[in-house]
Amino acid sequence: MTEFLTAAFYKFVELPDFAQLKAPLLACCEANDVKGTILLATEGINSTIAGPAVGVHAVLAYLRRDPRLADLQHKEARSAKAPFYRMKVRLKREIVTMGVPGIDPTLVVGTYVKPQDWNALIGDPDVVLIDTRNNYEVGIGSFAGAVNPDIQSFAMLPQWLAQAPALHPATGKKPKVAMFCTGGIRCEKSTALLRAQGFDEVFHLEGGILKYLETIPPEQSLWQGQCFVFDERVSVGHGLLPGQHDLCRACRQPLDDAELASPLFEAGVSCPKCHAITRDIQKDSARERQRQWELAKARQQVHIGASPEPKAKPATAGACNATL
């Protein structure tokens, strides 16, 4: 059975030439049969990629040849199922979109807290614990006692922070704040924002939920539920083992067993979360897409992410030999 290695990484670093990095980086990934998404912006890099271990490590080594990325850290997980079907390198304004000008995590950021010290911090009753993720992510798991901002995108978080009663008590004294997210990148920006707004005691979980689940044994854990991930695993639990959730291909939200059993669930078309908000024409289009996918699967063909003209792979990973 083929085993896939998934590597997640990000770094805030000045990359003024980020647009010129796209083509050689994409070529390196394709030469090594690596798939996933890499985001590039002037503020840095953000990515999750997967493929054969040797290929993923070749791409990471290629990235680290750039002195600006020499200390790039990554997290690993393994699975029997391909986490991605395509390889995309995208140019963005921000590697995680918050939409607040002037926020630079390389200049000021919250205090990093290692997973083994996290329980003690959030056990402090004076700490305001904030889950910075989207509502559908929070819905399948979070830390006990965490505040859910009930947001649909990270760009909505700044407005919520500006109005949250827990952050602006009647006494006027700014509270101690702890924030967390999936891999750590959203907390880099959210804690930088609070620091810029005069919050002195701001902390965030180093490596995010994924590092916590990888590091902390279940019997010592304060995590409840599963952690949503943006790939075909859908969710993971302690030890980063794949969870029990599936994904609605229409709205891209995680589904549990009860939602999969709902009469409103139709594979590839709708689920209880989106059935009422999609039009019939959208459902019909999704049904045809699902039919084509099922035909391709029955014929043992790749449908999602297939290239019209298969590219000949080089005998060696030559596309990764040049310096980024």
Asked whether residue 311 carries a pLDDT value surpassing 80, the answer given is no
Instruction: Tell me: pLDDT of 309 over 60.
Output: no
Confidence check: pLDDT of 304 > 80: no
DSSP one-letter string for 224-284: EE-EE-SSTT-EE-GGG-B-S-EE-TTT--EE-HHHHTSTT-BTTTB-TTTGGGS-HHHHH
Task: Read off the pLDDT of residues 93-102 as tens digits, 9 standing for 90 and up.
Answer: 999 999 999 9
Convert the pLDDT of each residue in 135-151 to its tens digit: 999 999 999 999 999 99
Q: In what order do the strands lie in the sheet with 111-113?
A: 111-113, 202-205, 176-180, 127-131
pLDDT for 186: 96
Averaged pLDDT of the chain: 90
Span 257-278, average pLDDT: 94
- Of all residues in the chain, the percent with pLDDT exceeding 70 is 92
The model's pLDDT over 27-82, given as tens digits with 9 standing for 90+, comes to 999 999 999 999 999 999 999 999 999 999 999 999 999 999 999 999 888 888 88
pLDDT attached to residue 215 = 93
More confident residue, 251 or 312: 251
**Per-residue model confidence as pLDDT tens digits over 275-299:** 999 999 999 998 998 888 788 778 7
Alpha helix positions (H), the chain: 18-31, 53-64, 115-122, 135-138, 157-163, 185-196, 208-215, 257-260, 280-298
Contact indicator for 302, 85 with CB cutoff of 8 Å: yes
Q: What is the pLDDT of residues 210-220, one digit of tens each?
A: 999 999 999 99
pLDDT of 299: 78
Catalytic center residues? 181
Read off the pLDDT band of 152 (50, 70, 90): very high
Q: Residue 245's closest CA among 228, 267, 221?
A: 228
pLDDT of residue 237 exceeding 80, the answer is: yes
pLDDT score, position 319:
63
Give the C-alpha distances (Å, rounded to integers) separating 8 from 57, 137, 170: 12, 18, 41
Output the furthest CA–CA distance in the chain (Å, rounded).
68
Rounded mean pLDDT of 76-92? Answer: 91
pTM: 0.84
Above 90 in pLDDT, residue 242? no
The confidence score (pLDDT) of residue 81 equals 84
Query: Mean of the pLDDT values across residues 262-279?
Result: 93
* pLDDT at residue 312 tops 70: no
